[in-house]
A = this chain, B = another copy of it.
Amino acid sequence: MSALREDVDRSVRRRTGGRSAAVRSAVLGAALAALEEGSTALSLPDLAARAGVAPSSLYRRWGSWEAVVVDALLASSEAAVPVPDTGTLRGDLLAYVGTVAGHLASPRGRALARAAVSSGHHAGAHEVRRRFWTTRFELARVMFDRARERGELPASGADDLLLLELLVAPLHFRALVTGDDARAALAERVDLVLAAAGAGR
C-alpha cells in the first residue's frame, strides 16, 4: 500500500538535481567500488563514510544495504553486451561468449553477477532480474535470426532462448560456484551449442 508512492504522489515534487544527485552517485559509486573489492555486505554507516555522506541520509533514502545494491546495479547498465555480427553464427557466438566470459572474469563483473543473484528476494527484485534477462536475450536473439536467414540453421529448430541460456548459464554457473575463469573452453562450448541447435547437418 506504500510501494507505488513514487508513481502516485505527484503532490511531492522530487528534487533530482544537484545535491541529491551528488549524494546518490557518491553512494552508488561507493557501493559498486565496495562490491568490486569483494565486499558482499557493508553496514550503512561504513558505506556512508566511504561515500562521504551522512549515515542518516542512507537510512532515509534506501534503508538497507540491499536496497542500495539493487539501485546501483540497475543504474550501472553497463551490463549491455554488444551483439556481434561477424558473418557466421559460430563467429557471432564466439565473440558473444568471449565478452560475457571476459566480463565474468573481471573482479567487477563477477561481483556484479554475484550481487545480482544474491540481493533482493522481495517482490520486485525477481521481476527486475527477469526483465533484465528477457531484454538481453531478446537482443542477442538476432544472431540466430541472421544465421537462419543465411541458411546456417534449420528454419524451425530449437527455441533460441533455450540455446542462449545453454550458452550463457554455464558461464555464470562457473563464475558463481567455483569462481573459475570460464574463458578456457569457449570454442568447445560454442560447438556444443551449435550441435544442439542442429547447425551443420
Instruction: Judge whether A40 and B121 touch: CB under 8 Å.
Output: yes
Instruction: Judge whether A117 and B114 touch: CB under 8 Å.
Output: yes
25 sampled A-B residue pairs with Cβ under 8 A: A40-B118, A40-B121, A114-B117, A114-B118, A117-B117, A117-B118, A117-B176, A126-B179, A130-B178, A130-B180, A133-B178, A158-B192, A159-B188, A162-B170, A162-B188, A162-B192, A165-B173, A166-B166, A169-B169, A169-B172, A170-B170, A172-B173, A176-B176, A195-B196, A195-B197
Q: Which 5 residue pairs spanning A and B have beta carbons closest together?
A: A118-B118, A169-B173, A196-B196, A169-B170, A192-B196
Q: Which A146-201 residues sit within 8 Å CB-CB of chain B?
A: 158-159, 162-163, 165-166, 168-170, 172-174, 176-180, 185, 188-189, 192-193, 195-198
Instruction: Judge whether A126 and B178 touch: CB under 8 Å.
Output: yes
Work out how many copies of this chain go into the complex: 2
